[in-house]
Chains A and B, each alone.
Chain A
Amino acid sequence: MPWFAVIAVVLTVIGLYMSFFVAPTDYKQGEVYRIIFIHVPAAWMSMFIYILMAVYAGLGLIFNTRLSSMMATALAPTGAMFTFVALWTGAFWGRPTWGTWWVWDARLTSELILLFLYLGFMALQASIDDPRRASKASALLALVGVVNVPIIYFSVKWWNTLHQGASISFEKAPTMAATMLITMLIMTFAFWSYSIATALYRVRCEILERERNSDWVLEMFNRKPS
């Protein structure tokens, strides 16, 4: 686990250096575009972590393995954080480029709903006292959510095209300079390692908390069982 933290820090430093000093200035958007080096990996991670969380939750529910439901619990805050970062950096990018902080575009709206789903998952988990029941209940919620994500995405997309509201096209420049792509990939791997590191750290705390009365935990802290 410390290795992933180290990798995360190193890659973030490299990635940030490249995104600010190495990657060329975009001919259309100027310097503003540099925010995508954080925005796009964060958006990827936000979606991927939700799916991963649902997979762990499903495994926990089906095979009754405690560690997988703990992993789902541990991933949720990181995923919610990335969703928030994606929305926030998106707003910062939209202000100078589109002239508005927010448009009710299909992608933005479904990302916002994804944040709500994360918050619901964490809220349900937090409000049930029995940890076993909490992880099972939230696992079911994650599965219901993951079934709904495509439905929500397409309904929002159709809703948006029917309204014909935002006239801003999301199409990026078709070709991307190689350095830009590499920088973005480095940042993605940095975020990956960060997610793994934080999730594993959280799982460690979670295990210790749930097993606080077992012998090995007490031994680890050199205390006699009461």
Chain B
Amino acid sequence: MSQTSLAAALIAVIRKDITLALRRMTDVLTTLFFFVIVVSLFPLGVGPEMDTLREIAPGVIWVAALLASMLALEHLFSGDYSDGSLEQLLLVPQPLSILVMGKVLAHWLVSGAPLVLMAPILGVLLGLSVDALEVLMVTLLLGTPVMSLIGAVGSALTLGVRSRGVLLALLVLPLYIPVLIFGAGAVEASVSGLGANAHVSLLGALLVLAICFAPWATAAALKISME
């Protein structure tokens, strides 16, 4: 029996997940359109005054991104769970936490990255300045992977559970709060001229923490769910 190296296994996992996602574009597009629709509901609800919209724009875009990435979490393990390849993943000799990291990375590339790219367009619609748009993209670039990583724990815990979507929201959203605070706070700080460096650094710290601990917790959660 030939032993596959860790890197090869990791790449195989990432490639498989991305291929599957690209073959089924609706999941990717649904998340993206959900993001757009939620943001565009706010001007309709709050009113079209540009000043108000500019003020609430960071929070609105961040909350919408948070909800959209939470919505996408349901697809993270469910496909593999239903066709049985998740069990095979648990049997692989390579450490599960690394493979989980690969899955989360692939998931982020197809669900988080589109949000980052779409955010500036929505920011323009809400009247954000160019500087603020830059900060918005940077913070989303740092924040959406954190959300994918934390969400993976919740997604793994709720595999095959009744009314999964609502439960996932209840578990994961409170844990997203720090990301939301620093992400939206950074954009707000740059709008008000305070400089976003402190917030961005804290977001980076959260990302490092999440990379260290979340895959490990997700692997443990998967083992619990599959036994």
Tell me the A residues contacting B by CB distance below 8 Å. 113, 116-117, 119-120, 123-124, 127-128, 133, 136-137, 140-141, 143-145, 147-148, 151-152, 155-156, 158-159, 162
- A111 to nearest B CB, angstroms? 12
CA distance A151 to B227 in the complex (A): 31
Q: Shortest CB–CB separation between residue B93 and chain A, in angstroms?
A: 24
Q: Which 5 A-B pairs have the closest CB atoms?
A: A155-B178, A116-B174, A159-B181, A120-B171, A136-B224
CB contacts (< 8 Å) of B154 on chain A: these are 141
Which of the residues B167, B182, B189, B220 comes within 8 Å of A124, measured between beta carbons?
A: B167
Tell whether A137 pairs with B225 under 8 Å between CB atoms, given A124-B171, A127-B162, A156-B177. yes
Note all chain B residues with C-beta closer than 8 A to A162.
185, 189
Residues of chain B lying within 8 A (CB to CB) of residue A128 = 161
CB-CB < 8 A to A151: which residues of B? 178, 206, 209
Tell me whether B29 is interfacial, beta carbon within 8 Å. Answer: no
Q: Given the complex of chains A and B, what is the CA–CA distance between A156 and B177 in angstroms?
A: 8
B161 to chain A, nearest CB (A): 5
Assess the A123–B170 pair: CB atoms within 8 A.
Answer: yes
Interface mask (B198-213 → A, CB under 8 Å = 1, otherwise 0): 0000100010010001
Report B's interface with A, CB cutoff 8 A. 153-154, 157-158, 161-163, 167, 170-171, 173-175, 177-178, 181-182, 185, 189, 202, 206, 209, 213, 217, 220-221, 224-225, 227
With known contacts A124-B167, A127-B163, A148–B224 Cβ distance under 8 A: no
Q: A residues within 8 A CB of B163?
A: 127
Name the residue of chain B whose CB is nearest to the CB of A114: B174
- CB atoms of A156 and B181 under 8 A apart: yes
Known interface pairs A136-B224, A137-B225, A140-B220; A124-B175 also in contact (CB < 8 Å): no
Give CA–CA (A119, B169) in the complex, Å: 12
In the bound complex, residues from chain A placing their C-beta under 8 Å from that of B175 are 144-145, 148, 152
Quick one: given A140-B221, A144-B153, are A155 and B182 in contact (CB under 8 Å)? yes
Closest chain A CB from B59 CB (angstroms): 11
- Which residue of chain A lies nearest to B161 when distances are taken between CB atoms in the complex? A127
Roughly how many angstroms separate A155 CA and B185 CA in the complex, as a whole number? 11
B206, B217, B227: the one contacting A144 at CB < 8 Å is B217
Please tell me if the beta carbons of A127 and B167 are within 8 angstroms of each other in the complex.
yes
Q: How far is B213's CA from A151's CA once the two chains are assembled, in angstroms?
A: 14
How far, in whole Å, are A110 and B157 apart by their CA atoms in the complex?
Answer: 24
Say whether, besides A116-B170, A144-B217, A155-B177, A137 and B189 are in contact (CB < 8 Å): no
Q: Smallest distance from the beta carbon of B85 to chain A beta carbons, Å? A: 21
Residues from chain A with a CB closer than 8 A to the CB of B177 are 113, 152, 155-156
